[in-house]
Structure 1
Amino acid sequence: MTITQRNVDLMGSDRGEIVRWAGPSGLRVTGVLLEGAQRVWADLAGIPGDVTTAFVVTKGGALVGRGYYASVEELAEVVDLAGLSPR
């Protein structure tokens, strides 16, 4: 599955589902709801308060770049989307 804005829109945020992708060398991308602790970390990463979902990018357990990305476009700046596969 390719990550597109449509995939994000269908992410299941109204049901609290989490979407995950894996990439090379331990890269992980997770779609998260920005509530509770996730909201706090997203605020620290500069995600606007009106954004309710984001992607968290990690590699080996550490955040990649600022860690939280509000859109597919922002995500594509730090991750090769073609190299991701659903997990």
Structure 2
Amino acid sequence: MRKEARFLKANDQARSAIKQFLEAPDNELDGIIRSIRQNGNTLSNPLCKGIRFLLRMQEWVNGLLMRCGRLLAIKRMATTFKKKQH
């Protein structure tokens, strides 16, 4: 029972550590953790490539969201400016 509790705690800690730099559903993170454990605690080449792809996609989405946020802020400022002029 203690061994299982330690395993689950370690799995939760690993998942939390991965979430610091990669947003993904828990089941996908668990798959990454399981793959690393099965590969002697190292990243396999396919997994490494997959993680790089996910990180690039996440960076692209975050950049897109930032640009959209800036556009919305500019639009709000323009609307506020127009209202003040009337």
TM-score interval, smaller chain: under 0.3
The TM-score with structure 2 as length reference comes to: 0.22
- Greater relative contact order (Cα < 8 A, sep 6+): 1
**Greater Cα radius of gyration, structure 1 or 2:** 2
The TM-score with structure 1 as length reference comes to: 0.22
Structure with the higher helix share, 1 or 2: 2
Structure with the higher strand share, 1 or 2: 1
